[in-house]
Structure 1
Amino acid sequence: MTGNHQTLALLLFSVFVAITLGITTWVSRNRQGSEEEFYAGGRLFSPMENGFAVAGDYVSAASFLGVPGLIALFGYDGVLYVVGFLVAWLVVLFLVAELVRNCGRFTLADVVASRMSERPVRIAAGTSSVTVSVLYLVAQMVGAGSLVALLLGRTGGGARAWTVIGVGALMVIYVSMGGMRATTWIQIVKAALMMGGTVVLTVLVLVRFHGDLDSLLRTAAERSGHGDAFLAPGLKYGGDLTARLDFVSLGLALVLGTAGLPHILSRFYTVPTARAARRSAIWSIGLIGGFYLMAIVLGFGAAAIVGPDALRESNAAGNTAVPLLALDLGGGADSTVGTALFAVVAAVAFATILAVVAGVTLASSASVAHDLYASLRRRGARRRSEVTVARAAAAGIGVVAIALGLLARDLNVAFLVGLAFAVAASANLPVLLYSLFWRDFTTRGAVWAVYGGLIPALVLVVFSPVVSGSPDSLFPGVDFQLFPLENPGIVSVPLGFLAGWLGTVTSSEPPDEAKHAETEVRSLTGAGAV
């Protein structure tokens, strides 16, 4: 796009940024500055509001940009991401939402530390939460770089690099100024825009094919270059045993990882009661389920209308499938309607990225201030406000996320999020479930469960094809690959549960029956909950 059309696109694209900054500024003027206000928004949000915010927090660049791109490039195998992301919410609804709201205050470590020795547990859980959050942020940075580079008509590294830096700066501003209240309203606005934009695109795709889904799928298969194999399992995860195991590993990570994501767990602290947490989970499942059904249509629509060759030319990982589909549906780059539709979709996608990075950054900075700082602060040192520490932590996390986002800018965002889910499922979920349901669980078991899942997951990723040994690796020129799978979940998730069990049975510390009884009563009834 050039000339007036590009100006229109950039103008529309900038509106959302201005709106979100306005929300943040308004909230910052009315902020009380307390920990409960900064971390949990005063716990004043209704189930519907929180449900929209959860959907806005969960449906990230991986879903809006990465999943349709994978479907457009790999057909049926790309749909597997949709299944994993959606089924995961059944685990959240039935095992996590109410219990976490009753047992904790602000972070995952609150739930575990309620019946353990606080210091080692908080250090372990805080370290794991920050690691997962940074991995998740990297995916959003990569998505932002691909999107804005396409909007500017520049696919070179310079445009992406400056975009990643800009997104990092914005996320620090949102978190440090507005806290959870501003972050939540940004997510609510983003969820409404995302659902509206997705509905419009889905309707336009169906109208293009006269409502004939069979015609849509057949056209997508023909343009893919793979024929009927495009609509059958195995194009990406078929073939040899390694590819099949990679698929199982990915599915395990996606289904179990959501319940261990710090920014999702923290959302259940923003409602006043456990019942409200359950109802907000139901709202979010409805919104998220509707979105993913439409994402399937958009993925196959991009394959049928834009074509895989054009997608790969724009972005090898397929991250620009939805914006290019919008451009084509509106009449192409030379049409005002196409440019406007493209800009609206780009704004929605950018809103998705900003809302998610704000939520993830807030959760990770809360872990730094509420868990790590409180546990590692030297005795006798002047105690600073947790909110002050959290704001400083947001800046530090932003710098790390920017650096890693620049390094991983050519990887698919859905794939990158899959890695974050694998680490969350390996390190956070075992300690959470053991703490809630195992009477004999001990402090050593908790610490071992976290590190026993976190360390293997990270080590396996370092020695996997993601980092070296293939043309698509972070470092394609070197080869120190030892682990054949791209996703470590099939190994690291069982190791996390095993380490937690082993640490408990070898511990000399007797289980505290009274604390477990208190935790059990609180988690199931809400008695004594904050």
Structure 2
Amino acid sequence: MDSLNTTQILAQDSSADVGNPILNISVFVAFIVVTMAIVMRAGKTTKEASDFYTGGASFSGAQNGLAISGDYLSAASFLGIVGAIALSGYDGFLYSIGFFVAWLVALLLVAEPMRNVGRFTMADVLSFRLRQKPVRTAAAFGTLFVSLFYLIAQMAGAGSLVSVLLNIHDTTVQAGVVGVVGLVMIAYVLIGGMKGTTYVQMIKAVLLIGAVVLMTVMVFVAVRGGASELFDRAIEMHRDSEARAEAGYAAEDVMKPGLKYGADFVSQLDFLSLGLSLVLGVGGLPHVLMRFYTVPTATEARKSVTWAIVLIGSFYLITLILGYGAAALVGPDKVLDAPGGANSAAPLLALELAGPLFMAVVSAVAFATVLAVVAGLAITASASIAHDIYHAVLRDGQATEEEQVRVSRITVVVLGIVAIVLGILAMQQNVAFLVSLAFAIAASANLPTILFSLYWRRFNTTGAVASMYTGLGSALLLIFFSPAVSGTPTSMFSGVDFSWFPLTSPGLVSIPLGFLAAIIGTYLGKPDNLDDLADEMEVRSLTGVGVEAPVSH
């Protein structure tokens, strides 16, 4: 079940003005050409595996903080959250709060130790003082599924975005759009590696934050008043909404929590599960953790997170204004009638504020957002397969860097194809909700092992493997049998109903299971007898001494 769309009114013939499709696609193509040129230029310097995975660790803290913002502020952040707030008010703003507060976990517990201990991937940290092969294999599966769910959200967002730009209501054509986005993403990664991706993320972060700040100023000018006037206008538009009347909501409901997560017990549990997944998810996101390896020192890693918090926090505060701006100036009916449903709120707001050209530019920035994020995700997943599975497990650490990069490129192609297929199935879901599923998997499968590896000396391989497989398996199982996949009009498979788990987010169950499995596995399993490595890991994580030296056992 889409946790934010209150009804699915996607009219086949919409009277909503979506600007000039030719102008929209022209600006769109121009953005792709410029960013691809940057990627190709950076790709010429990608010679070794370290260049492909981490950009040679050559970026400053400020640059990396900007890139992290570009990586983190995805289509879910811009398209999904603005649409969620426009349709569901404060309940939609929960996503903004959760995504932002989660950074405190990353800053306080994860960022600097991860940079000090690892080199290329999250599994470098998890396997440092544990047995390499079983831990790296389990970590690679976790990385793959987190990256895949994140990719699905970006693909769905891109399909919605281009559908709005070209006023496409036909789902077959929308599916073709998702396919094209996937192919462009594959090209970005194959050509530029991490260095090219990082430059695109930095540029995109500047453009996106600049665009939302400009839109915020224009919203207040358009309503001719402050926040209270904006909220009053939003309530008035909801009062006149036919879709809201059919769904049984009063206009004032959009101004208070509980529009979707109401008084019934299951809704309250779903609310808690979503919040838990959002807050704990960032500390286990492999593509965000991998960004800490693109800076030369732990100090720069810490500075990266500080910059990211300032930029990301500012952005998420602004989404509240843009969401209510879309409710007040566009209206829920027009948003729901447009191709892409809730995900079209931000482009339609840009159209309402300054006409077709501004909408085209804002949409192109949003599309650059999608490309930058999916490129980062693809690199993370490909690095995990090549570095953790192929190099460390299958080849016993004997694979050359050329072989690793080749396996990475093959992985990117395969992952891109799978993401395209699943993205097509998820086109009608709110992209912020889809990303919350990736957060739930990350918090369930990765976070317990990361924290225990860094801070619990007794933790062993049995606990790590049990935690990762239990967290990942339970999260995937509960998602598959939830209303997100079947049983509702907005499910991935809307025509059938095999759901038995009532919550749309699995985090309330799967996250505790991941932690519990780690503890039980540690006490039941045999000690690894790698005390020297445990001592070295503790020194590295706290001081950064010996960071450049790889560990093998």
Q: State if a TM-score over 0.5 links the two structures.
A: yes
User: Do residues 249 (structure 1) and 273 (structure 2) align?
Assistant: yes
Instruction: Give the equivalent residue in structure 2 for 1:348.
Output: 365
User: Do residues 119 (structure 1) and 137 (structure 2) align?
Assistant: no
Which of 83, 92, 113 does residue 78 from structure 1 map onto? 92
Instruction: Give the equivalent residue in structure 2 for 1:240.
Output: 264
Alignment of 1:98-497 (within 5 A): 98-225=112-239, 226-315=250-339, 317-330=341-354, 338-377=355-394, 385-497=403-515
CA 111–3 in structure 1, closer or farther in 2 if over 3 Å, else same: closer
Moved more, 417-426 or 468-477: 468-477
SS across alignment from 1:439? coil
Provide the rounded CA distance (Å) in 2 between the counterparts of 1:294 and 1:103.
36
User: Do residues 513 (structure 1) and 531 (structure 2) align?
Assistant: yes
Provide the rounded CA distance (Å) in 2 between the counterparts of 1:134 and 1:80.
23
CA 281–427 in structure 1, closer or farther in 2 if over 3 Å, else same: same
Instruction: Give the equivalent residue in structure 2 for 1:335.
Output: none
Asked if the contact 1:260/1:428 (under 8 Å) is kept, the reply is yes
Provide the rounded CA distance (Å) in 1 between the counterparts of 2:457 and 2:226.
55
Q: Any idea what the Cα deviations from partners look like across 1:447-497, whole Å, max 9, x if unmatched?
A: 011001000000001111111122221122211111000000000000000
CA 470–419 in structure 1, closer or farther in 2 if over 3 Å, else same: same
Q: Any idea what the Cα deviations from partners look like across 1:390-428, whole Å, max 9, x if unmatched?
A: 011110110110010011111100000000000000001
TM-score using structure 1 length: 0.96
1:211 positional shift: 3.6
Provide the rounded CA distance (Å) in 2 between the counterparts of 1:30 and 1:133.
26
1:222 positional shift: 2.0
1:6 positional shift: 2.8
Provide the rounded CA distance (Å) in 2 between the counterparts of 1:29 and 1:475.
43
1:375 positional shift: 4.2
Provide the rounded CA distance (Å) in 2 between the counterparts of 1:520 and 1:288.
30
Asked if the contact 1:442/1:511 (under 8 Å) is kept, the reply is no
Kindly provide the amino acid, as one letter, of the partner of residue 223 in structure 2: F
CA 450–227 in structure 1, closer or farther in 2 if over 3 Å, else same: same
CA 517–221 in structure 1, closer or farther in 2 if over 3 Å, else same: same
1:374 positional shift: 2.2
Q: Any idea what the Cα deviations from partners look like across 1:51-82, whole Å, max 9, x if unmatched?
A: 11000000000001000100000001001111
Alignment of 1:6-21 (within 5 A): 6-21=21-36
Moved more, 95-104 or 503-512: 503-512
User: Do residues 48 (structure 1) and 62 (structure 2) align?
Assistant: yes
1:212 positional shift: 1.4
SS across alignment from 2:446? helix
Q: Any idea what the Cα deviations from partners look like across 1:262-298, whole Å, max 9, x if unmatched?
A: 1100000000000000001000111101111111100
Instruction: Give the equivalent residue in structure 1 for 2:246.
Output: none
Provide the rounded CA distance (Å) in 2 between the counterparts of 1:430 and 1:317.
36
Q: Which runs of 4+ in 1 moved over 3 A?
A: 1-5, 378-384
SS across alignment from 1:385? helix
Kindly provide the amino acid, as one letter, of the partner of residue 24 in structure 1: V
Provide the rounded CA distance (Å) in 2 between the counterparts of 1:280 and 1:378.
34
SS across alignment from 1:190? helix
Asked if the contact 1:148/1:159 (under 8 Å) is kept, the reply is no
Q: Any idea what the Cα deviations from partners look like across 1:358-380, whole Å, max 9, x if unmatched?
A: 00011011001011212442689
1:170 positional shift: 1.3
Alignment of 1:54-93 (within 5 A): 54-93=68-107
SS across alignment from 2:488? coil
CA 312–117 in structure 1, closer or farther in 2 if over 3 Å, else same: same
Kindly provide the amino acid, as one letter, of the partner of residue 415 in structure 1: F
Provide the rounded CA distance (Å) in 1 between the counterparts of 2:19 and 2:343.
25
CA 86–380 in structure 1, closer or farther in 2 if over 3 Å, else same: closer
CA 90–378 in structure 1, closer or farther in 2 if over 3 Å, else same: closer
1:29 positional shift: 2.1
Kindly provide the amino acid, as one letter, of the partner of residue 355 in structure 1: A
Q: Any idea what the Cα deviations from partners look like across 1:93-142, whole Å, max 9, x if unmatched?
A: 11111000000001110001110110000000001101100000000000
Provide the rounded CA distance (Å) in 1 between the counterparts of 2:476 and 2:294.
31
Asked if the contact 1:468/1:474 (under 8 Å) is kept, the reply is yes
1:316 positional shift: 6.2
Provide the rounded CA distance (Å) in 1 between the counterparts of 2:531 and 2:279.
32
Unaligned runs of 5+ in 2: 1-15, 240-249, 549-553
Asked if the contact 1:216/1:304 (under 8 Å) is kept, the reply is yes
Moved more, 165-174 or 124-133: 165-174
Q: Any idea what the Cα deviations from partners look like across 1:211-236, whole Å, max 9, x if unmatched?
A: 41101011112212332221111001
Provide the rounded CA distance (Å) in 1 between the counterparts of 2:397 and 2:269.
52
User: Do residues 27 (structure 1) and 45 (structure 2) align?
Assistant: no
Alignment of 1:517-528 (within 5 A): 517-528=535-546
SS across alignment from 1:414? helix
Instruction: Give the equivalent residue in structure 2 for 1:333.
Output: none
**How large is the Cα RMSD of the aligned pairs?**
1.7
Kindly provide the amino acid, as one letter, of the partner of residue 428 in structure 1: N
Provide the rounded CA distance (Å) in 1 between the counterparts of 2:54 and 2:491.
39
Provide the rounded CA distance (Å) in 2 between the counterparts of 1:97 and 1:29.
30
1:4 positional shift: 9.9
Asked if the contact 1:439/1:511 (under 8 Å) is kept, the reply is no
1:208 positional shift: 1.1
Kindly provide the amino acid, as one letter, of the partner of residue 506 in structure 1: L
Moved more, 258-267 or 512-521: 512-521
Provide the rounded CA distance (Å) in 2 between the counterparts of 1:203 and 1:101.
38
CA 452–525 in structure 1, closer or farther in 2 if over 3 Å, else same: same
Provide the rounded CA distance (Å) in 1 between the counterparts of 2:198 and 2:397.
36
1:13 positional shift: 1.5
Kindly provide the amino acid, as one letter, of the partner of residue 104 in structure 1: G
Asked if the contact 1:327/1:339 (under 8 Å) is kept, the reply is yes
TM-score using structure 2 length: 0.92
SS across alignment from 2:180? helix
Unaligned runs of 5+ in 1: 331-337
